[in-house]
A and B are shown apart, each in its own frame.
Chain A
Amino acid sequence: MKAALKKSIIVAGLGLATLLAVPAWADYSVGIAGPMTGEYASAGAQIRNGAEMAVADINAKGGVLGQKIKLEVGDDACDPKQAVSVANAMVNKHIVFMHGHWCSSSTIPASDIYNDAQIPMATVSTNPKVTERGLKNIFRIMGRDDQQGGVGGGFLAEHFGSKKIAVIDDKSAYGKGLADEMAKGLQSKGVKPVLRESITAGEKDYSGIVTKLKAAGVEVVAYGGYHTEVALILRQAQQAGLKLTILGGDTMSNNELVTAAGGDNANNVLFTFAPDSRLEPGAADVVKRFRDKKIEPDGYVLYAYAAMQLFQQAAEKAKSVKYADLQKALANGSFNTVVGTLSFDAKGDLKVPAFRVYQWKGNKYEYFK
């Protein structure tokens, strides 16, 4: 009697479990990953805001292939080791598409795991190595550092070629790659930097490097790295009576730079970034809805939104979310997203990447004039 009761409870339990599991399996899970915590958490928040809105919009319009999609969020804190465990966790959650990671140094190790598990991914990481390793599952929806750095270096040579220029990086995969390309861009136009230095990211005291710049008479810095260090360098330069103009990459689009640099220091920051997607006519409606929710869709917000659109359109085209079909659709298709039309070359890089030079004005950035 007792045994029979036990058995029936187990059976009932199993039945209940299947009932619960069925709807969960029917949804498609898509992943996003980036620095949700840690020093660069504000970029993670941008990705999350963008992806959440996109998933809500897609589900409101009936989902993908008639199924709702469910967002899984991974936090790698821009730490390569953590990125690998996030990737493993994502694989266990049976995601069918990944948007991430954000830091190149996280994207590179994590992408091997997604590739092994046959999960297609869209990323905004800009280090050339991301797509140079022959992985078929990666699609980069942003330009590359060698393109970005070339644009930045060429721009500096053209507009500030007569001044003393230093090239500095923060030793990260992204920062060093970008700074090297900027130095190449400068040299190709015949401008030789007076200093080439590296700093350690995550510290607070950069008075040493500031003094060195001052002693060398540097007026312009080409910087490869993230905005938090630039803010500190600007503040400490001001304190040391040194006026610097800094040209950085896409990460300088974070408006945290303005408050952190203090006063109007950020007005001396220029940066290269993809053409402002908020000005794309196709994005107007989405931009408005972000602003209604008090989210300014700058930086990576619209890119995360676009990544989700990319998945939806590719799945509809392939009529499947199986890796082979999705991959083929992504590799051969052309997709209309809030950041413009995206199509990819054989490596998975954008066919038509574009970079513009921006300048901070107060707490907004605009095209450099």
Chain B
Amino acid sequence: MGQFIQQLINGLTLGAVYGLIALGYTMVYGIIGMINFAHGDIYMVSAIISVTALTLMSAMGITAVPLALALALIIAIAFTSVYGWAVERTAYRPLRNASRLAPLISAIGMSIFLQNMVQITQGARVKPIPTMMPGGIELFSHNGFSVHLAWTQIMICVVTVVLMVAFTGLITRTSFGRQQRACEQDRSMASLLGIDVDRTISYTFMLGAALAAVAGVMVTVYYGVVDFSIGFVAGIKAFTAAVLGGVGSLPGAMLGGLLIGLIESFWSAYLSPEYKDVATFAILIMVLMFRPSGLLGRPEVEKV
């Protein structure tokens, strides 16, 4: 029982992080119908930025954890959004009217570029930060197994829920959200109606990057260690989450993330940690075979 609850907590935390990254994939897919393969590396860049920011702040004597965290979040979001904008500007916009394969390849190139750039400028060694929020609460103890809920886990879940709500509001209730949905449905019609399509797409990339930045900061604080290679695995898992939930659907991305987090932690608890990725990707294959549009995705309607 104790172990079950503990794995549930672990799985939800991990799933929240996957979900946040998956949101970025899903938004970009929604608007340009393209998987942004550089997104995992944007997340990695934000984690590195947050380590730099946190280290700088502790050097400057800012030791209050909430203040340091808030500042790190702001800095990471600001810088990472610029990265998101730059990726769109250099790897996507020049190829807007090229064949579908071209931007896909340029995005993979961008991903390799970002990874190598960080490795060369920041070094290959892992970057640790001291534990910022030590401890947590002991929920209960059952047969000698005490269930821990770390402060960082609470933080991750709360931040994710808040962002999800804010985000849904942004998409459904603001004029930017309306423009974005218009571009998603029909780009040329949207531009005829006076929507600046390029700008809307740029903003979408920046928003996706900002969400990845939040995930980056939280992962830095939660695991305490980041390096230039973390983008790849996280990117693939989040991509799987987006597809599982239905690419293009915001609640789908979140649901997919949570499901993958839970599958991973329960599989490694009760079956074998060795095969947890096999389980994750097997489920992905099943979904694609029997429900290609994902759990919450709308089936694609061919426009005539």
Which A residues form the contact surface with B (CB < 8 A)? 37-39, 41-42, 44-45, 171, 197-200, 202-205, 207-209, 211-212, 214-215, 217, 228, 231-232, 235-236, 238-241, 256, 259-263
Is A211 a contact partner of B229 (Cβ separation < 8 A)?
A: no
How far, in angstroms, from A38 to B112 measured CA to CA in the complex?
Answer: 12
* Chain B facing A: main interface SS: helix
Is A204 a contact partner of B148 (Cβ separation < 8 A)?
A: no
* A199 partner, pick from B7, B229, B265, B273, beta carbons under 8 A: B273
The interface on chain B, measured as residues whose beta carbon lies within 8 A of the other chain's beta carbons, has a size of: 42
Q: Given A199-B274, A200-B277, are A215 and B145 also a contact pair (CB < 8 Å)?
A: yes
Contacts of A38 in B (CB 8 A): 124, 229
How far, in angstroms, from A39 to B128 measured CA to CA in the complex?
Answer: 14
Q: Which of B180-188, B197-205, B217-225 contacts A (4 or more CB under 8 A)?
A: B217-225
Q: Given A232-B223, A256-B125, are A39 and B276 also a contact pair (CB < 8 Å)?
A: no
How far, in angstroms, from A209 to B219 measured CA to CA in the complex?
Answer: 18
Contacts of B14 in A (CB 8 A): 205, 207
CB distance from B107 to the nearest CB of A (A): 21
How far, in angstroms, from A211 to B145 measured CA to CA in the complex?
Answer: 10
Q: Given A208-B10, A208-B268, A232-B225, are A239 and B124 also a contact pair (CB < 8 Å)?
A: no
Contacts of A204 in B (CB 8 A): 219, 223, 225, 230, 233-234
Is A212 a contact partner of B269 (Cβ separation < 8 A)?
A: yes
Q: Which of B95-103, B130-138, B166-174 contacts A (4 or more CB under 8 A)?
A: B130-138
How far, in angstroms, from A279 to B259 measured CA to CA in the complex?
Answer: 53
Contacts of B145 in A (CB 8 A): 214-215
Nearest residue, chain B, Cβ from A204: B223
B272 CB-CB contact with A under 8 Å = yes
How far, in angstroms, from A91 to B155 measured CA to CA in the complex?
Answer: 54
CB distance from A345 to the nearest CB of B (A): 35
How far, in angstroms, from A45 to B2 measured CA to CA in the complex?
Answer: 44
How far, in angstroms, from A166 to B145 measured CA to CA in the complex?
Answer: 17
B81 CB-CB contact with A under 8 Å = no
* A41 partner, pick from B125, B265, B273, beta carbons under 8 A: B125
B58 CB-CB contact with A under 8 Å = no
Most chain B CB inside 10 Å of its own CB: which residue of A38, A204, A238: A204
Contacts of B138 in A (CB 8 A): 241
